[in-house]
Structure 1
Amino acid sequence: MAAGPLVPGYRIRCNVVVKRLHPAWLVAAVAFVALVGAAGFRATPGVLIHPLHDEFGWSLGTISLAVSINLLLFGLTAPFAAALMERFGIRRVVAYALLLVSAGSGLTVFMRHSWELIALWGVLVGLGTGSMALAFVATVTGRWFVKRRGLVTGVLTAGGAAGQLIFLPLLAVLVEDHGWRSAALTVAGAALAVVPLVLWRLRDHPSDLGVTAYGAEADAVPPPLVGGAARRALGALRTASRTPAFWLLAGGFAICGATTNGLIGTHFIPAAHDHGMAEPTAASLLALIGLFDIAGTIASGWLTDRMDSRVLLGWYYALRGLSLLVLPALFAATVRPSMLVFILFYGLDWVATVPPTVALCREYFGSSGPVVFGWVFASHQFGAAIAATATGVLRDRLGNYDLAWYIAGGLSITAAALSLMLFKSRRPVPAAASPVAVAA
């Protein structure tokens, strides 16, 4: 009988521990898992370009066009998805997005023509992944966190890198041992598996659980919504586009997309294969970029809470440009130490640009910052789409990727200059401003 009183005491202690954990952290954890589940497709194009070319005879330019459409829709969907999340809720939008990714990837096993690749890879998966783009991260952190926003932004952004780390080596082995269709079905299954968790645990607002955002004042009230989702997204773009800061952020982020998703993410594995490196080995190197990306993005979030985001962006882009200029000399049939140094450095820098960019959108555009960031992210994907196709065409015509690396290096240094020019446009908007009331 002595054991009886211990059980209530144990429960009391457990309840105390549970109450100390703010619900925002659980929401962030579910969002992280959702981002990992949707990240499988980001790992897919690099390992499937050569298998699709070998089976169907499609040129690298044609396959890259499908990737470009995906990247473009990925970006253009983001601001509308951010507005839809504000109108209909995060949980509902994310669940539908994961279903689109699963359908688009799974149905590729039945395709026979290049237009089907464009429709599935480009349109369906583009719409699905775009609805879970980095505007999703900005929405979650904007609603659920006041303190630790930069850190959480970094962690959630790293979710995509974690997905790449998990999927890339697995997909490369599946393609080599069982064909590309097994890889496509694996991505479809992973996205589908996350849907029940999102419906079960993801919450739209702190008020749904009777709490305030983490670090917010007890009487904090969220700003009211203005108009419908499309109206809000377009209104935010119209207002933001009248400011120099928007164009500087969008220009730098377009170059960011061109030098990451469009270039390295799509063409690193085929480029390494051109130099005699086995595709599973090249995929493992790209996965290592994802591993270091996790550390780099979290560290960038921590720095964003403590340093001027303009300075951080300037350093990130400048160092990325210098690394791309030396990349052509690093490729070989085997992995050399110099290539590992590049992988480590590029991984740390990969999406380290996201936390300071989100912070600057919030600083300049107030409560409409997440939606404005959606448009800035659209420019990121526009740059990625151009780079993916242009690089594939360059490879078809020149027989190598060298010129693409040099152009990307020069563009990254240009992005550093654009970031530093933000100091001349330093006109922050009050945090409570509505997207319609933001001053031009």
Structure 2
Amino acid sequence: MIARRVVAALGLAQLISWGVTYYLIGGFGEQIAADLGWSRGIIYGGFAVSLLVMGLTSPLVGRLVDGRGGRDVMVVGAMVNAAGCAGLACSHHTGTYFASWMILGLGMRLTLYDAAFAALARIGGPDARRAMSEITLLGGLAASVFWPLGHILSEHFGWRAALLAYAGFAIVTIPLHLVIPNRRYAVAPRHDAPEPALPRAADPRRVRFGGALYAVITTGANFLNAGMSAHMIAVLAGLGLSLSVAVWIATLRGIGQSAARLCEVLFGGRIDPVDLNLVACLFMPFAFIAGLFGGASKEMGIAFALLYGACNGILTITRGTLPLVLFDHRSYGTLVGGLIVPSFILPAAAPLIYAVVIDRAGNASALYLSAGIATVTLVAAAMLKVLFPEAGPSAARSPCLDTTHLGKKS
């Protein structure tokens, strides 16, 4: 079992880390553009560059967490996040601005969910599922906390001082990350204990195929998340809702996301992650279909926001828990670090792609595009369910499971 104080500290660190990095552009982007006179392409291009850096550094970070543990990696990440925020606060030229976002891209990969999931898998092994779900509860509130906080700070002190404060918040996460134990999962052998189940992808060929399906699912979910984060309000307004109504309906996405994650924490432990992933992917296309009617009916707009938020919230959790049942947990960081590279690189283009689609084909076309991507994700989830079913209680011990180190700490 992972200690409650570790989960609480890591959950709070996720809330702060997401708030001062990933959601930074949503809170300050327009202010930076207005103050410096830069185009939105430059402002939001910096964020896109950070996502590319996350993808390029992902395999290395995954190996570092496997080898050194999450504590050292995430402490360094907190310092890198602070440097990136301070760099943005001091930016007067595009070169400094983009360099700061590149620094933040590395910091985000070192501190956000994927690093945290790998850290939990290293210390909790197959038992890390609940802890993964629990830290997303606080992480999911990052925008709700830091968007208004950032607005208050910038109103009183300006956006540069607000970003320096964000650098300070990033430093505050260092003692939280130091709570993570620097050990590797091990279970003392017991004669009456059930034998550990085989990873469902137990041979190289199945690892490759299962990994490909996992990559499709995570990339599709992240692409939709990036596109909706940038354009959800504009799409709802473009379909006929007033801007104020579109804004408050879009905020319901966060409520749906947090509610779904809470349900998963309370009741999801009995549900196979592959099944849970399939259910979320199954309802995702219907969310975007409901959105098509959002302009004519506020109720359908509300259904769109809540249902999409719920599906996205669950998929964030299964992104961490699927590898626990599919692959050997001892190589979690290394393997997943490679598989999620496309889920950072391709979504970096999502805001621009959605903007082009909306400009050329209308707001409804953005929802048709989203429904199509959600359907592809659903097909991959269904294939994962069919090809990697849940093992029975009599599953044999994994032939690749080394038992010589059990009961020892690394």
Residues 252-299 of structure 1 deviation map (CA, whole Å, 9 limit, x = unaligned):
110100011x112233356568776369x94x7666533442332243
Partner SS state of residue 89, structure 2: helix
Alignment pair present for 1:39 and 2:3: no
2:92 to 88, 95, 112: 112
Alignment pair present for 1:251 and 2:216: yes
Matches within 5 A, 1:254-273: 254-260=219-225, 262-268=226-232
Percent identical among aligned pairs is 20
| Alpha-carbon offset, residue 190 of structure 1 | 1.6
**What is the alpha-carbon distance in structure 2 between the residues aligned to residue 193 and residue 126 of structure 1?**
19
Partner SS state of residue 371, structure 1: helix
> What is the CA RMSD across the aligned residues, in angstroms?
3.6
1:418 to 364, 380, 386: 380
State the AA in 2 paired with 1:379: P
2:183 to 205, 208, 214: 205
Partner SS state of residue 192, structure 1: helix
Which sections of structure 2, spanning at least 5 residues, go unmatched? 192-203, 403-410
| Alpha-carbon offset, residue 137 of structure 1 | 3.0
- Are 2:207 and 2:327, in contact at CA under 8 Å, matched by a contact in 1? no
**What is the alpha-carbon distance in structure 2 between the residues aligned to residue 133 and residue 434 of structure 1?**
29
| Alpha-carbon offset, residue 164 of structure 1 | 2.4
* Equivalent residue, structure 1, for 2:110: 131
Matches within 5 A, 1:26-425: 26-40=5-19, 41-121=21-101, 123-145=102-124, 148-175=127-154, 179-199=158-178, 201-205=179-183, 216-217=187-188, 243-260=208-225, 262-268=226-232, 277=243, 282=247, 288-300=252-264, 305-327=269-291, 329-330=293-294, 336=298, 338-366=300-328, 367-394=330-357, 397-398=359-360, 401-425=363-387
Partner SS state of residue 3, structure 2: helix
Which sections of structure 1, spanning at least 5 residues, go unmatched? 1-21, 207-211, 221-238, 436-440
1:433 to 379, 395, 400: 400
State the AA in 2 paired with 1:404: A
| Number of residue pairs aligned between Structure 1 and Structure 2 | 383
Residues 378-423 of structure 1 deviation map (CA, whole Å, 9 limit, x = unaligned):
232223212133234445x549654333211210121011111124
Residues 82-128 of structure 1 deviation map (CA, whole Å, 9 limit, x = unaligned):
3212322322211110111122122212223334332212x111100
**What is the alpha-carbon distance in structure 1 between the residues aligned to residue 189 and residue 143 of structure 2?**
39
Residues 124-180 of structure 1 deviation map (CA, whole Å, 9 limit, x = unaligned):
111001112333233233233357532221112333212222112323454566543
- Are 1:289 and 1:348, in contact at CA under 8 Å, matched by a contact in 2? yes
| Alpha-carbon offset, residue 324 of structure 1 | 2.3
**TM-score between both structures, scaled by the size of structure 2:** 0.79
Residues 30/360 of structure 1: CA separation in 2 closer, same or farther (3 Å cut): same
**What is the alpha-carbon distance in structure 1 between the residues aligned to residue 83 and residue 90 of structure 2?**
12
**What is the alpha-carbon distance in structure 1 between the residues aligned to residue 175 and residue 41 of structure 2?**
37
Residues 290/375 of structure 1: CA separation in 2 closer, same or farther (3 Å cut): farther
**What is the alpha-carbon distance in structure 1 between the residues aligned to residue 308 and residue 77 of structure 2?**
29
Residues 163/119 of structure 1: CA separation in 2 closer, same or farther (3 Å cut): same
Residues 343-401 of structure 1 deviation map (CA, whole Å, 9 limit, x = unaligned):
33232222311333433323332132343222333232223212133234445x54965
State the AA in 1 paired with 2:257: D
- Are 2:275 and 2:385, in contact at CA under 8 Å, matched by a contact in 1? no
- Are 1:65 and 1:389, in contact at CA under 8 Å, matched by a contact in 2? no
When structure 1 is superposed on structure 2, of 28-37 and 372-381 the one drifting more is: 372-381
- Are 2:253 and 2:306, in contact at CA under 8 Å, matched by a contact in 1? yes
**What is the alpha-carbon distance in structure 2 between the residues aligned to residue 241 and residue 62 of structure 1?**
42
Partner SS state of residue 155, structure 1: helix
- Are 2:109 and 2:115, in contact at CA under 8 Å, matched by a contact in 1? no
* Equivalent residue, structure 1, for 2:408: none
Residues 296/338 of structure 1: CA separation in 2 closer, same or farther (3 Å cut): same
- Are 1:361 and 1:370, in contact at CA under 8 Å, matched by a contact in 2? no
**TM-score between both structures, scaled by the size of structure 1:** 0.74
Residues 134/188 of structure 1: CA separation in 2 closer, same or farther (3 Å cut): same
Residues 78/433 of structure 1: CA separation in 2 closer, same or farther (3 Å cut): farther
Residues 286-323 of structure 1 deviation map (CA, whole Å, 9 limit, x = unaligned):
66533442332243356653233333222212322221
Residues 72/131 of structure 1: CA separation in 2 closer, same or farther (3 Å cut): same
State the AA in 2 paired with 1:244: F
**What is the alpha-carbon distance in structure 2 between the residues aligned to residue 287 and residue 191 of structure 1?**
25
